[in-house]
Each structure stands twice: as structure tokens, then as C-alpha cells.
Structure 1
Amino acid sequence: MRRRSLLIAVPAGLVTLSACGDDGSDSGQASSSEASPSASAGQSAPPPPKIVDGPLPAITAGTKFDEKPTIAKGSGKPSDQLAVRTVIAGGGARVAENDYVQANYLGQVWDSAKVFDNSYDRKAPLVIQLAAGSIIDGWRYALAGKKAGSRVELAVPPTWGYGSQGNAQAGIKGTDTLVFVVDIQDVFNAKSSAKGTDVAQDDIDLPKVGTNTDGKAPEITVPKGDAPKDLVSNYVIEGDGAELAAEDTVLVQYKGVLWDTGKEFDSSYSRSALTSFSLQQVVKGWSQGLTGKKVGSRVLIVVPPALGYGDSPPADSGIKKDSTLVFSVDILAKM
């Protein structure tokens, strides 16, 4: 059985892993009055659709990649299968099932051309996993195999959208076919790493972290001597993305070792699965250590006991009471 991340500082039942609505803040998720492509709760998975070429309405304005598009009203009867067209072919990484994609998108109803959601106006792309239960199946099947840098148009019938129940809050009926334009900005998976400039690690009293960016776990070398009493948060690789705010949700790769022994106690690399969480739901050392750091970076965080698990470490974690924890964290995206 794969071990769950040890970082979550709240009961597991309070942690949600699928994208959902928010208050319209700069988080990359849809506001509460809109319908993001997140899967509906309790929705059973239909059989895979047949991928067809059309029909698909024309994109009449905003025709460049990552430019907000205008889509014509659907003409005639839409397909009862999944219509997909690559409008612009990108040359980046290829999307696979269970990958995370970072994308801007616009969605509207086929019959009325009513726009029910778009990320362009929020100026915050969506980051979401292409996995069953996380996203509507129309996106899962349409985007698999596409490359980063691509613009994809798709028409999703109810079967692979919001089902017969629709989404009343967004004005989507259970009979509505939905049309999306999706600009795939980036793709993340278990092989993803930080991207940026190496930063000198010249403090001999602090751990050294490897700078490899091949998707493998970096080596962490802990020095002999006493652990620092205060939180340490230093760039190992400095990216050029947005700075994280204290309330952000992030997608990361990470590895944690004990200061006293250098022994690994937790790692997303060993699970071959990325981890996402709100900075308000993790141990204080992570929340404080990552706030203000840039997306794309690798960060060394040394967490003293008071900002970690103190005298109450997780059971069977290998962490003793009052342990100082050392982490390498790759900040892949802000969700």
C-alpha cells in the first residue's frame, strides 16, 4: 500500500484533492458561480467515447494560443460522441492519463453559445489532474496524447460532461453539449522537476541538496553538528514563476530526511506521484517556508520541532519526538 504524505496537518477527511470552486480569488480555480471542468461528486464513470472530428463551431476571435477565444454558436445537431480538434499543435511534453495539466480554457453551451466559465478573465490558469473523479471525462479523453503548447477544441456531450443532472448553478442542463477551447500551457507528472537557476549553497552548517532536474530525487547531505534552532528556507534552484501566498494551493515534488540520521522518512518520488495541498493545511514549517517562494523553484527547508511535529510525530513515520526535519521541495505549479 502506498503511504500517504505525512505533511498534512489536518485530519485526512478535511483534505480535498479535486479542483473545486472558490471565491474568485487568484487561485486558478473557478468561482462559485461558474462550472470548472472538475468531476461532479458521485458521478459514475461512463464507457470511453469514440473520438470524432466534429462537428465543432468556429473560433471567430482570439485565435492565438493563450488568447481568450470567441466561439460561434453550434450549428445543427452535435455529435453524441466526443468531438476533438487540435487547433494549434504544440511541441511540448505529451499529456498522459493521471498527469496534471496547466491550462487556460473557455467553456460554453452548444445550443445557446452561453459562456459558463473561462479562466482567461481570472488571469489564472487551471491546474488539474487528468484522472477519473478529478475532472470531467470529456477532458480526460480529449487531452490525453496532446502536447503542451497546443490549443484543443472539444465538444462534450452530457455523457462525458456533467451527466443527466447537468449543473444548475452554471445554467447547464442535463441535455447540453458543452464546447471548450483549452490552451495547454504545461504538463506535470512524476518525472517533473524544478526549472531555474542554481543558487550557491555556501553555508557549511546547512544541508546540501542536489541540483539534478531529471525527475529523480535529489540527494540531501546533512552536515555534522547541531541543527539550526530557527526555520531555514533557501533556494537551491530559483525559478521565475509567481511568488506563493500563504493561502495558495501548490503542486510539488519533495523529499524529507531526518537531521540526526539523514534517513529518508517521506518522499513523493518514492510514491511516483506528485502531491498537491493548500499551504494552510500543512505543518507550519512548510507553510512559512514556502510562502514568498517562486513557482519553478527547488527549496531547502529545515524545520525545527516547534514548526514540525514537536512531541507528537505521526505514528509509524520513523520520526522521533522533537526531530528536526530537512526537506527538498520542487514547486511545480500554483493551483
Structure 2
Amino acid sequence: GADQPHSDAASASTSAAPERAAVGEGQGEPDALTGVTFTEGDGGAPTVEIDGEIDTDQPTTRVLTAGEGEQVQEGDVLQMSIAVVDPASGEVVAENFSGEPEAVPVDDQLKSMNPEIHEMLVGNGAGTIVAAYSPEYDVSVPQTESASPSASPSTQTQPAQLFVYKIDAILPKQAEGEEVTEGDERLPDVTVDEESGRPSIAKPDGEAPQELVVQPLIEGEGREVGADDTVTVQYEGVTWSDGEVFDSSWETGQAITFSLNRVIEGWKEGLAGQKVGSRVLLSIPAEKAYGEQGKPPAIGENEPLLFVVDILDAQASATPSAN
């Protein structure tokens, strides 16, 4: 609750998880959002009714529904549905409740971009629905070079906005599913640390395959990944020549989200068609990785690579964003 001291010592303690917020709680002036009623559409767009007007000049959040599910922790990646609402009329301007939820990492970036939402997420459970109001504010517009030095900087007013966020689910930290027993004998073994769940690739032996090899290790049960999807993954990469780890999300334990249109060709080809929830081992020839130039100092010229990738989520297209 609000009466707890927010000291470093308190936040560093692992014994006490943040309390779940009750309906009506929030930051700023939650009572100003008492008139907001949110109704989920049955597979379609949600509706919002606003009784009276929202009267506050503070960034404000209010819990509309307290979720009973697993509590959100720092470092989790959430599946969230988001609606952008006109605070004057209640009209839903954009939403993904009727489509696919968005993967939202609860991390330092969210904390700096949207501290109110970060605070509302941590400690609350899956199923929680929160209204968030952003009052209108003025933004300075940079002067054009032709403006006289004495001209006063002009401002632009950002209109007030209302958002509704729902925590649909917390993504698993690693791949979960049926283990695949048959493997390609040309590829090194992958072992898993029992405590952390972190997979590691054994030092490769012999020549790298000339072609891209995709070896499923765990068969997920989610939807198939599309070649242009945005994926959320945990991964580790090693060089074929010496088995040295050059990149790993497991160092921080924080899953990474990116578009398959912004990665090396071997990732795009290798992950397309795999199912969410899977763990795959990719053996990528240099021409589908960093090619002749490599990526110094860790990846030399014409270096084939190995990645073990846990596919935690995949989304087809851009949706309203929590940032």
C-alpha cells in the first residue's frame, strides 16, 4: 500500500512482493477516473463510458479490475491489450483487444518512458485492468534557423489522452514443451542449467554445415512464427570456431523483443515456421550471418555461428504501444 516506505532497502528485499492494488487505487488522483467504465467486447473492440468529465491536471492511474493471476515482477515480459481512448467522448480511437496482445517488457526502459504504468504493473496480477490518464501539456517546438534570435520559442499543446491497459498474461521465462529426441549429429549438444534454466551450447566439434540447419530441441504449442513477425526471445550465440559465447540474453535474464526484419538472415529464415514456446538450435553459415567482414572483435571473417533460441512470443504487426 501507499504507507510502505519506498527505501532502497525495502525494494531490495526479496521476501515481500509488492502488494496487489485494489480496485480504485492508483497514482495521481485516482478518484478523477471514478466515472470511467470499461467493457471488453466479446472478441471485438471494447467500449468505454465516461460519466462526467475527467478533472485532474496530474498523470493519473486507477485500477478498474484487480487481476487474480500470477503477480508481475520486474524483468517479466507481459502480454498486454491496450486501448487508446478520447477522454472527452469515450470513443476508442485504437485498440488491440480484438487482435493480438502486445509483448511489453517490465524493465528500466518502461520505467523511464512511463513510470506510472511501470508502477501499476509490478505486483499486480494477470487479469488486471488499469485506466491511465495523461493530461494535456505544452511541448516546446524547436525554432527554425530563419527565426530571429529574439523570437520566443513556440509551444504545441499535446491533447489529453486516456489509455486502458489489461495484463493478459505473463510470458514464460523460457521455452516449455515436449523435448525433441532426434537431433542432427553434426551439431553440438545443448545442456540446461537445472537451477537457472539457462541452455548452453557445448564446444563445437568438426566442420560447420555449409547450409542453414534448424534443430528443434523443445516443440512449443503456440502459433507459427511468420517471417516478418516481431518476436520475444531468450538466446545465446557462440562461434563455431571456438565455442566462445559472444552474445546472450541470459546474462541479464531479460528477454529481448525485435522484428525478424532487423536481424541476420539465418535468424529470419531459421525462426520462420517454428512455433511459439519452442527452443531451437540454429547453425548459421557465414553468408547468412555476418559474412566476409564478420563483426569484430568477437566474430571473425567468414565465421559460422550457433544460436540456441527460446521463442517466447511472436506478433504479426504493430499495435498501440505501452511506451
Length-normalised TM-score, structure 2: 0.72
1:157 to 128, 134, 143: 134
Q: 1:260 to 1:186 in 2, by over 3 A?
A: same
Deviation at residue 212 of structure 1 after TM alignment: 5.7
Preserved CA contact (<8 Å) 2:29 2:56: no
Other-structure match for 2:181: 200
Deviation at residue 333 of structure 1 after TM alignment: 1.6
Amino acid at match of 1:119: N
Deviation at residue 255 of structure 1 after TM alignment: 0.4
Q: Take 2:97 and 2:297, find their aligned partners in 1: how far apart are those partners?
A: 45
Amino acid at match of 1:308: A
Task: Report sequence identity in percent.
Answer: 30
Other-structure match for 1:174: 158
Q: 1:67 to 1:140 in 2, by over 3 A?
A: farther
**Are residue 292 (structure 1) and residue 273 (structure 2) matched?**
yes
Preserved CA contact (<8 Å) 1:194 1:332: yes
Other-structure match for 1:124: 100
Q: 1:306 to 1:175 in 2, by over 3 A?
A: closer
C-alpha RMSD of the superposition: 3.1
Deviation at residue 325 of structure 1 after TM alignment: 0.9
Other-structure match for 2:33: 55
* 1:219-258 matches, cutoff 5 A: 219-258=200-239
Q: 1:59 to 1:304 in 2, by over 3 A?
A: same
Amino acid at match of 1:151: T
Preserved CA contact (<8 Å) 1:142 1:154: no
2:124 to 146, 160, 166: 146
Q: 1:202 to 1:266 in 2, by over 3 A?
A: same
Q: 1:151 to 1:49 in 2, by over 3 A?
A: closer
Other-structure match for 1:32: none
Deviation at residue 213 of structure 1 after TM alignment: 7.9
Preserved CA contact (<8 Å) 2:54 2:87: no
Other structure's SS at 1:224 match: coil
Other-structure match for 1:110: 87
Amino acid at match of 1:322: N
Deviation at residue 224 of structure 1 after TM alignment: 2.6
The superposition leaves residues 200-235 of structure 1 with CA deviations (integer Å, 9 ceiling, x where unpaired) of 143332222235686543121245322211111121
How many residues align? The count is 272
Q: Take 1:88 and 1:67, find their aligned partners in 2: how far apart are those partners?
A: 22
Deviation at residue 254 of structure 1 after TM alignment: 0.6
Q: Take 1:135 and 1:105, find their aligned partners in 2: how far apart are those partners?
A: 16
Q: Take 2:29 and 2:218, find their aligned partners in 1: how far apart are those partners?
A: 41
Q: Take 1:57 and 1:158, find their aligned partners in 2: how far apart are those partners?
A: 16
Deviation at residue 327 of structure 1 after TM alignment: 0.7
Deviation at residue 322 of structure 1 after TM alignment: 2.2
Task: Return 5+ residue gaps in structure 2 as ranges.
Answer: 1-25, 140-156, 316-323
1:92 to 58, 70, 74: 70
Preserved CA contact (<8 Å) 1:54 1:85: no
Deviation at residue 321 of structure 1 after TM alignment: 2.1
Preserved CA contact (<8 Å) 2:56 2:135: no
Q: Take 2:212 and 2:80, find their aligned partners in 1: how far apart are those partners?
A: 34
Deviation at residue 92 of structure 1 after TM alignment: 1.8
Preserved CA contact (<8 Å) 2:192 2:198: no
**Are residue 302 (structure 1) and residue 283 (structure 2) matched?**
yes
1:331 to 308, 311, 319: 311
Task: Return 5+ residue gaps in structure 1 as ranges.
Answer: 1-47, 166-172
Preserved CA contact (<8 Å) 2:85 2:92: yes
Q: 1:100 to 1:53 in 2, by over 3 A?
A: farther
Deviation at residue 288 of structure 1 after TM alignment: 0.8
Deviation at residue 279 of structure 1 after TM alignment: 1.1
Of 250-259 and 105-114, deviating more is 105-114
Q: Take 1:51 and 1:254, find their aligned partners in 2: how far apart are those partners?
A: 42
Q: Which runs of at least 4 in structure 1 moved beyond 6 Å after TM superposition?
A: none
Other-structure match for 1:71: 48
Length-normalised TM-score, structure 1: 0.70
Amino acid at match of 2:138: S
Other-structure match for 1:260: 241
